[in-house]
Structure 1
Amino acid sequence: MSQNNYREMYVSEALEHVETISDALLKLEEEPNKKEHLDLIFRSAHTIKGMSATMGYDDTRELCKNIENIFDNIRKGQEKLTPNLASALFKCIDLLREMIADEKKKVDLKPYLQMLEHPDDAQIDVAEPTNSAKSPTIRVKMLDLDSLVNLVGELVISKMRLEQTLSHNGSDDARQVMTEADRLVTDLQYQSMKLQTCTDRSDL
């Protein structure tokens, strides 16, 4: 097998593990005591670390090692997943995704590793990853998403009642406004359902 084929296999499998880490971390924020989320993140980080070491990607290996250590400490009760730590981890996950997709990318890991070690230190600043192979992680609380979808559903019902009212005694101007509102509500309904479908696919 050629080096290019090995590279393609590495990228494909490693990016799958990155998404596993990202999805499991989202779930862990909702269920901080659920061990299976911790174990899943730890295993995926460990796997990427080993694959990267084999391919000679030392920066990727180093970042994965630090992520792995954090979750090992959390599993042992030596560390807690605070909101600041979660935010730092998501930034590192986005960076990890970029590093895997672009083997020529040059990264200064030091501020990222410092951020993981001292997540509450507001002085640590890192550049946001750019040109990501996939969209940056979006953190959505499921309760908030469900509430949004429910509100959109109620809005659709109200829109239908208003349409019925205007069909009987509405002016032309009112019907024109209703047509514009109908388009906006339809777009909102589509976008909210699309977002729900994306999160359902991740089993959030």
Structure 2
Amino acid sequence: MMLVATKKRKWTLWIATTIVVLYAYSVYISFFSQQLGYVYDPGTDRLFQVSLTPNISTCDKWTPLIPFHRCYLGEVGNVVYRGTLRSIEAKRNLMKENPKEWLDNQNEKIDELLSGHSTKELEFWNIEYFRTPVVPVAELLPKRLSVLENSTTDQNPDVIAADVVIARMMFNAIPAEIEVVRNAVLIRGMAARRLLTWMEVLELDELPN
């Protein structure tokens, strides 16, 4: 009987430990999870890649502590300027049609960075956005991205109209350059992952919704 009781205690301890670990992991993910996103400026054709983090300030304080519940990933973290959509499309077309030339171009850029002769200035970006739900997203997306218009993740739209404030800070340059862009587009969730895959050669209409 004692042996059976000991085994039961071990199983109970093992199950309890597993539950605690899973709960701790769930809470950690709630606070520190990130999601890929993009901000597109239709006026200049610029595309920014962003990381979306939990918006704790607009989240109920108990939500992160409830297993399998997360705050909305709406806070913009790291920002990387990817270039204009037109230039990105030109690069992906070159990658498809002439891989050798594309690889040579990449090697040249790497050599410039390693040699210290790169003319590209070190820059840092920051973005804040404010939703403008009355603006139709269909009017803001270029034709090549129109297939993303109705994409949803977790029953929330992936493509959102927004006004954005963009700050560009150059190394050793003060003050920062700040601009307000009206009627930009925030792309998140599945739509953002599809856009990333598109930049890696596949056509958008070849990708699953």
| Normalised TM-score (structure 1) | 0.20
More strand by share: 2
TM-score normalized by the length of structure 2: 0.20
Whose helix fraction is larger, Structure 1's or Structure 2's?
Answer: 1
